[in-house]
């Protein structure tokens, strides 16, 4: 398996979730299973089956996070020599030249992408079109809706 690019912030979030699952959620589920066992016949014990299902989801998520962290190529954008260009991990302010609408996006790994938080995947059409350009550049980006012209207003590395 190849390495997955991930920002330092994204890796920290995954580590926090992993810590929560291992140290808080897992013991809660084990306690729930133990209590449900005390209620008698396991074949007809809905609490027991629900707790076992939660355990399966929890253990699956733990394995998924551990795998992602193991295969992560963590990039700290503050330590990159960027030559003021848009790179993975940068936060970019852009303006749509046709509508004058401004957006600010952080370019992150696939697992970190969340449009509500203005975080777009490195593999998205907009991110691919912005990579390598500088503040003030006008870029033409092919999107599913057609070609859109953007001006790069600001590039930050944080």
- In the chain, which ranges are E strands? 4-7, 72-75, 91-96, 102-108, 119-121, 138-143, 146-156
One pLDDT digit (tens) per residue for the chain, 158 residues: 588 899 999 999 999 999 999 999 999 999 999 888 887 777 778 888 899 999 999 999 999 999 999 999 999 888 887 788 999 999 999 999 999 999 999 999 988 999 999 999 999 999 999 999 999 999 999 888 889 999 999 999 88
Q: Which fold, 77-156?
A: Chitinase A; domain 3 (3.10.50)
Write down the CATH number for the domain with range 4-75. 1.10.287.180
pLDDT score of 63 = 97
What ranges do the domains of the chain cover? 4-75, 77-156
Give the residues across from 141 on adjacent strands: 148
Residues 33 and 52: beta-carbon distance below 8 Å:
yes
pTM of the model: 0.78
């Amino acid at each position: 398996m190849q390495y997955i690019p991930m920002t330092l912030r994204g890796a920290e979030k995954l580590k926090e979730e992993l810590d929560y699952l291992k140290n808080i959620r897992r013991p809660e589920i084990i306690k729930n299973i133990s209590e449900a066992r005390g209620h008698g016949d396991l074949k007809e014990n809905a609490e027991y089956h629900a707790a076992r299902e939660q355990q399966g989801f929890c253990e699956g998520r733990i394995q998924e996070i551990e795998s992602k962290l193991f295969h992560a190529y963590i990039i700290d954008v503050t330590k990159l020599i960027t030559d003021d260009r848009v790179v993975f991990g940068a936060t970019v302010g852009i303006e749509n030249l046709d509508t004058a609408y401004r957006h600010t996006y952080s370019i992150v790994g696939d697992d970190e992408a969340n449009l509500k938080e203005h975080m777009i995947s490195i593999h998205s059409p907009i991110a691919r079109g912005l990579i390598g350009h500088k503040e003030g550049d006008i870029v033409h980006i092919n999107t599913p809706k057609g070609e859109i012209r953007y001006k790069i207003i600001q590039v930050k590395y944080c």
